[in-house]
Chain A
Amino acid sequence: MADVTTTLSRPEEDRARIIRPSTRLRNIELGLLLVALAVSAGAIVLVQLGALGRIDLNVVKLAGGVGVLAIALHVVLRFAARDADPFILPIAIAVNGLGIAEIYRIDLSPTGVRNHLDNGTTQILWTAVGIGAAIAVLFLVRNHRMLQRYTYIAMLATIVLLLLPLVPGLRLRGAAAYVWVSVGPFNFQPGEIAKITLAIFFAGFLVARRDSLAMVGRKVLFVQLPRARDLGPIIVVWVLALGVIVGEHDLGTGLLLFGMFVAMLYVATGRTSWIVLGLVLAAAGAYAAVHILSYVQGRITNWLHAFDGTLYDQPGGSFQVVNGVFGLAHGGLFGTGLGQGRPDLTPAANSDFIIASLGEELGLVGVFAVLCLYLLFVSRGFRIGYSGPDDFGKLLAVGISFVFALQVFIVVGGVMRVIPETGLTTPFLAAGGSSLVANWMIAALLLRISDTIRSGPRTVI
């Protein structure tokens, strides 16, 4: 028996030396990463050529630091997560690089010099922090299943994070929505991080409770309705989301949290009735919000009657949305070219409206490329969730990918007037540290889950 084992193991080792699938994945990643870095560097150089007419090497060097960090993350993956998905990192770097270039471009514009100087540098520094956070997540979370232990701590963390902006001493003064926390020189949006902790809580909670949520209930008109007492969780999340909308004037985050919960409920139970119920609750909430909250009403009016002349000139009117649409129209199919448009005419051109700025300078062709990258990122997330053997990992991957997708839809749809405008950040693109760090953490979690799935047990009986 013993010598059979030894003779058997030799050809297997030979094959292991030849095939090595794990290194293959990392090599794909390296190749794509180099192209992504070329995209980012090309964007920054083109911005300088377009706006300044010369190349300013200082900024290129600074941005090169981000490239070095990206390579560092790649090397970390080679050691810490060899079987991780090879597409997440290059896509994130490409979109992040495009964002840096466009934010820097707004800094260079005539109004930018006065209004928002040096946001580009800040964004580069935050990108470094974000990649650092991703590396930290990869080292701290060696297996995503350990997060399941912290289900209820994650819930507590979410509530604290969502309530932080309401604490009197911490709130940032002068902002329309109470989503900022200001500590010394740093401003932070805790809601961004709350997305992740909430996804961890939902995943853990639904894994434990989904049987009663999926099986029990009675059938009314083709739809199996859940029991009244199983409605508790969805009502609680609904109230939480409404609380964010009412208390913090943050329509976007409220929608995001509730949408994520409904999507994860559906994935966990496979029951359409939860989606129907979620949509009914969301419609009821929206109806109430429109009639009670004046700022929500304003957003809806700006959306429906955007091109009304008086509304356009009103303070808080549709000036911003319409200007964004004008910018997109000015860009046309191929755009004005980086550094050659006037995206700075739109307020918040480098944060909420960055997709309009990119659309003006890269055109429809460029915006579609960016949307394709988002689509690929989200599809990777769903794929990772789909192939996972454990339910917690499945739900977590699907939850954080869905919230990413929903955020892109809400913000891009708002800018393009598909839906009313809500103040959310475009993932990886928009200026804003908290959003960048949160999205890099999402990327790191997806990398970690995909690595555990490929290298860990495939099936548990």
Chain B
Amino acid sequence: MSALTLLVLRIAFLLLLWVFVFAVVYSLRSDLFGGRVRRVPEGAAPAAPAPASAPPAVQSLPSPPTPGAGAARVQQGPASVLVITSGGKAGLEIPLGTEPLMIGRASDAGLQIRDDYTSTHHARLLLWGSDWVVQDLDSTNGTFVDGVRIDSPTQVPVGVPVKVGATTFELRG
């Protein structure tokens, strides 16, 4: 084994070591910068041509969502935070991804509310197109969007209070 080969191998090894470090850092980047990839231009584009009506994805719902107070509001992409506005942990913010969020007393719920008025699997928040929709899962005490008890999946515009049990929350952009 000549000295030159060893030298080349040596430097190649140090390079490999750093490639590994940077590979880890590169895979980490979404964590470092957060789930910031909101595709703002893409979300803004469908909202612009049809500002007054519900976005196209929601129109494909079997039963059209009951128009809430802020349903006609123009949104810049889906809401990204759920804020508890009243109840035990008022003020708590929960970041929303793209996954559905289960709300209820069960331990597998994404938002676990432990009070006497909440059912085990009470309601579910889903991202439908670019809108969050709340679906009551046949709960005992009901889910209220803007004070109205819902019986079909209902769009939740930003800033409209949703009541589950003794807890009220709203979505924010």
Chain A residues in the interface with B (C-beta under 8 A): 1, 3-5, 7-8, 12, 19, 21, 28, 31-32, 35-36, 38-39, 42-43, 46, 49-50, 53-54, 86-87, 90-91, 94, 334-335, 337-338, 340, 362-363, 365-366, 369, 372-373, 376, 383, 456-461
Contact = CB atoms under 8 A, between A and B. Distances in A.
Contact of B21 (A8, A28, A373): A373
B112 A8 contact: no
Contact of A458 (B110, B113, B153): B110
Contacts of A458: 94, 101, 110-111
B107 interface: yes
A28 B99 CA distance: 20
B126 A383 contact: no
A380 to B, nearest CB: 8
Interface string B1-35: 10000110111011011111101110110010000
A207 to B, nearest CB: 17
Contact of A49 (B9, B11, B114): B9
Contacts of B1: 49, 53-54
B24 A376 contact: yes
A32 B153 CA distance: 42
B27 A337 contact: no
A334 B10 contact: yes
A87 B16 contact: no
A97 B138 CA distance: 55
Nearest to B127: A15
Interface string B106-132: 011111111100000000001000000
Interface stretch (B42-50, B67-75, B83-91, B155-163): B83-91
A337 B87 contact: no
Given A334-B11, A461-B88, A376 B17 contact: no
Nearest to A145: B107
- Going nearest first, the 10 A-B pairs with the smallest beta carbon separation are A337-B10, A457-B112, A369-B17, A460-B112, A461-B113, A372-B21, A458-B110, A35-B20, A461-B89, A7-B62
B20, B62, B92, B109: which has the most chain A beta carbons within 10 Å? B20
Contacts of B152: 1, 4
Given A461-B88, A461-B167, A32 B6 contact: no
Decide if the interface of chain B is mainly helix, strand, loop or mixed.
mixed
Contacts of A459: 89, 92, 94, 110-112
B89 to A, nearest CB: 5
The interface size bin for chain B is: 35 or more
B14 A383 contact: no
Contacts of A46: 9-10, 13
23 contacts: A4-B63, A32-B20, A32-B24, A36-B20, A39-B20, A43-B13, A49-B1, A49-B9, A53-B1, A86-B27, A90-B24, A91-B24, A334-B14, A362-B17, A369-B20, A373-B21, A457-B107, A457-B108, A457-B111, A458-B111, A460-B112, A461-B114, A461-B167
A43 to B, nearest CB: 7
B1, B6, B24, B84: which has the most chain A beta carbons within 10 Å? B24
A244 B111 CA distance: 44
B135 interface: yes
B13, B23, B62, B87: which has the most chain A beta carbons within 10 Å? B13
A32 B23 contact: yes
Contact of B6 (A39, A50, A86, A91): A50
A8 B135 contact: yes
A8 B124 CA distance: 11
Nearest to A6: B62
Given A42-B13, A457-B112, A369 B6 contact: no
Contacts of B113: 461
A460 B103 CA distance: 10
Contacts of A53: 1
Contacts of B87: 461
Nearest to B22: A372
Contacts of A461: 84, 87-89, 92, 111-115, 167
A35, A86, A363: which has the most chain B beta carbons within 10 Å? A35
Given A1-B151, A49-B1, A39 B114 contact: no
B131 to A, nearest CB: 13
Contacts of B92: 459, 461
Nearest to A375: B21
Contacts of A372: 21
A350 to B, nearest CB: 19
Contact of B153 (A4, A19, A28, A456): A4
A5 B142 CA distance: 16
A369 B21 contact: yes
A54, A94, A365, A461: which has the most chain B beta carbons within 10 Å? A461
B107 to A, nearest CB: 6
A287 B153 CA distance: 68
B66 to A, nearest CB: 13
Contacts of B20: 32, 35-36, 39, 90, 94, 369, 373
